[in-house]
């Protein structure tokens, strides 16, 4: 694992800021509704920009808006600087959400060096899908989401998991043909979005507090928010959302709980 020095981390953040600006530019031009979310929104509220130790950035769109964004990237994306990946357009890509990446950079996560696609500095672009209103049904739905997440992850888990039994299990799971898994996942997306509900989630990402979803209204109502001196769109009811996701979000976590992503190789653009 490479420990990022302050200069490298800041260059990484400023490259991610460039990616956020490209998302904002495309969404404004094409009338697409997005929000900065998770640690990016927390950073905007608590720090006015990146959380000082944070090494990634996140945006989210309801599924219909995400599909518009995917389509817009085919014609509007500045391909001299950026490229967009998701499971629909990138062979070997095994995440249930998209990544916008910066050309001429490298950001290799540990144990993902063997993945067969280009891995530049990125921000996550999350689609949000509807989940059942009924809590019991939503728990069953969550289990299905868990299975898809693990089957997608299996190609990494077969080399990354510390438990020999789990490495073996992931090895077996990774034998499911990629196309078969992706076609099944696409059917699941269509099924889960047949009915609009008051709850949504990122299907292949864990949810907090055993609620197994987030309030749809949080993502429907946005407001301008300052992030590193640039105005982006963020969840208007950020206090409710951040309390739900992080608890007492105004308090800094202890140093030992300040999470970063383990990387084995990084090459960023010099910006500072």
What confidence tens digit (pLDDT) does each residue in 201-210 have? 999 999 988 9
Q: How far apart are CA 238 and CA 241, in angstroms?
A: 5
Run means of pLDDT, 10 residues per run, the chain, 272 residues:
90 97 98 98 98 96 98 97 97 96 96 96 98 97 98 97 97 98 98 97 94 97 98 98 96 85 91 82
Q: How far apart are CA 128 and CA 95, in angstroms?
A: 14
Kindly provide the residue ranges of all beta strands, DSSP E only, lying in the chain, ordered along the sequence: 35-36, 58-62, 82-85, 98-102, 106-109, 122-130, 199-201, 214-215, 222-227, 230-235, 263-267
Neighbouring CB atoms inside 10 A of 250's CB total 12
User: What pLDDT was estimated at residue 257?
Assistant: 81
Q: How far apart are CA 259 and CA 96, in angstroms?
A: 22
**Strand 122-130 and strand 58-62: pairing?**
parallel
How many Å is the Cα radius of gyration of the chain? 18
- pLDDT tens for 119-150 read 999 999 999 999 999 999 999 999 999 999 99
Whole-model pTM?
A: 0.95
Would you say 215 and 201 are in contact if contact means Cβ atoms under 8 Å apart?
no
Q: How far apart are CA 269 and CA 238, in angstroms?
A: 32
- Listing DSSP states for 35-54 in one string gives EE-HHHHHHHHHHSSS-TT-
């Amino acid at each position: 694992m490479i420990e990022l020095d302050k200069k490298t981390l800041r260059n990484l953040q400023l490259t991610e800021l460039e990616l956020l600006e490209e998302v904002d530019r495309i969404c404004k031009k094409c009338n697409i509704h997005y929000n900065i979310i998770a640690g990016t929104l927390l950073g905007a509220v608590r720090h006015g920009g990146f959380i000082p130790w944070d090494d990634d950035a996140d945006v989210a769109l309801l599924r219909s808006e995400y599909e518009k964004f995917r389509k817009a990237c085919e014609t509007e994306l500045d391909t001299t600087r950026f490229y967009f990946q998701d499971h629909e357009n990138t062979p070997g890509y095994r995440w249930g959400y998209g990544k916008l990446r910066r050309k001429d950079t490298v950001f290799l996560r540990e144990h993902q060096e063997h993945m067969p696609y280009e891995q530049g500095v990125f921000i996550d672009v999350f689609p949000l899908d509807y989940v059942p209103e009924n809590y019991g049904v939503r728990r069953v739905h969550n289990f299905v989401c868990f299975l898809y997440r693990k089957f997608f992850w299996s190609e990494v888990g077969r080399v990354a998991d510390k438990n020999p039994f789990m490495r073996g299990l992931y090895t077996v799971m990774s034998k499911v043909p990629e196309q078969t898994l992706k076609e099944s996942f696409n059917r699941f997306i269509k099924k889960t979005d047949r009915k609009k509900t008051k709850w949504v989630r990122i299907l292949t990402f864990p949810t907090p507090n055993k609620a197994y979803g987030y309030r749809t209204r949080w993502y429907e109502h946005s407001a301008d928010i300052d992030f590193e001196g640039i105005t982006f769109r963020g969840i208007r009811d950020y206090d409710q959302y951040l309390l739900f996701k992080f608890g007492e979000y105004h308090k800094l976590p202890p140093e030992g709980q300040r999470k970063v992503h383990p990387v084995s190789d990084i090459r960023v653009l010099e910006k500072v």
